Amino acid sequence: MFLIFKKNHLLIFIKLIAFLFFIFLGGEIFAHHAGEGQNMTSSTRFIDPFTGKREKPSDYLLISQDFQKGTIDNSNLYTTTVFGEFNFAGGKYAANFSAPWTYYEQKDRSDASRYGKAFVGAKWNPLIDTGWPFFIILEGRLGFPSGGDTDKFAGGDYYSGIANLTLGATWKQFLFVLRGSGIFPLSKDHANLDTQSGLPYWAQSSTTQNTETHPEIQKITQWFAYITYFWSKDFSVFGGLLYRTPYVNVIGGGSLLEEDSETQKKFPKAFKEASLGFNYTLTKGTYLTIAGRLPLIRDPEIRLYDYAITTSISFELPEWRDSSKKSEKEVDEFESEEDLEKK
- Cβ-based neighbour number of residue 187 at 10 Å: 13
Residue 130 has pLDDT above 50, yes or no: yes
pLDDT of residue 208: 45
Residue 16 has pLDDT above 50, yes or no: no
- Helix, strand, coil proportions of the chain in percent (round to 5)? 20, 40, 40
Mean pLDDT within 117-135: 91
Q: What are the beta bridge partners of residue 134?
A: 169
Q: What angle do CA 141, 306, 209 make, to 5 degrees?
A: 60
Q: Tell me the CB-side half-sphere exposure of residue 321, using CA atoms within 13 A.
A: 5
- Model pLDDT for residues 54-106, shown as the tens digit of each residue: 899 999 999 999 998 886 666 788 999 999 999 999 899 999 999 999 888 87
Mean pLDDT within 124-145: 92
pLDDT of residue 119: 94
Q: Which domains does the chain have, with CATH numbers?
A: 33-329 (2.40.160.40)
- Model pLDDT for residues 254-291, shown as the tens digit of each residue: 333 344 555 555 678 888 999 999 999 999 889 999 99
Lowest mean pLDDT among 152-156, 218-222, 327-331: 327-331
pLDDT of residue 264: 59
- Cβ-based neighbour number of residue 5 at 10 Å: 9
Burial 128-160 (b: 16+ CB within 10 A, else e): beeeeeebebebebebebbbeebeebbbbbbeb
Would strands 160-171 and 134-143 be described as parallel, antiparallel, or unpaired? antiparallel
Tell me what the pLDDT averaged over the chain comes to. 74
pLDDT-based confidence at residue 218 (cuts at 50, 70, 90): confident
Residue 308 has pLDDT above 80, yes or no: yes
- Model pLDDT for residues 26-66, shown as the tens digit of each residue: 444 344 333 333 333 333 344 566 788 889 999 999 999 99
Residue 242 has pLDDT above 70, yes or no: yes
Would strands 60-69 and 286-295 be described as parallel, antiparallel, or unpaired? unpaired
